[in-house]
Amino acid sequence: MGKTRDEALTTALQSSGVTNPAFLKAAQAMLSGMVKLGEDGTAYVETPMGPKTVDVFAKGWAASEGKDFVTAAQGGGARGNDGTKVSNTMKRAEFLALPPARQAELVKSGVTPID
């Protein structure tokens, strides 16, 4: 059995960096009515440019209209409000709660999970 449209949207949003539970729920509420399932079970959204898979649509949305919903990157050279460098570590439990794609991004940026 394939994913439901809501499961597909949740996965796509998380992979696009929307990981804060409150923001994820709000984004789902805003976008779920746009998501449809094709006969083959693929979740998609009709756009002015034609249909897009929910993954592609969510990435575009998170990079534009939904950018405020995206969890800010931590570590990897990020700077604090006072201009000092932020730690390149994060708690292992927080790291493991992230989707695999986000974990990969953080590791590439130099973040190290710690206990």
Q: Tens digits of per-residue pLDDT, 88-97?
A: 788 888 888 8
Q: At 79, list the tokens.
A: 């700077």
Q: Tens digits of per-residue pLDDT, 1-39?
A: 457 889 999 999 999 999 999 999 999 999 999 999 999
Q: CA 17, CA 99: separation in Å to the nearest integer? A: 9
- Residue 54 binned pLDDT confidence (cut-offs 50, 70, 90): very high
Q: Tens digits of per-residue pLDDT, 34-50?
A: 999 999 989 999 999 99
Q: CA 33, CA 5: separation in Å to the nearest integer? A: 10
Using alpha carbons, select from 68, 53, 66 the residue that is nearest to residue 11.
53
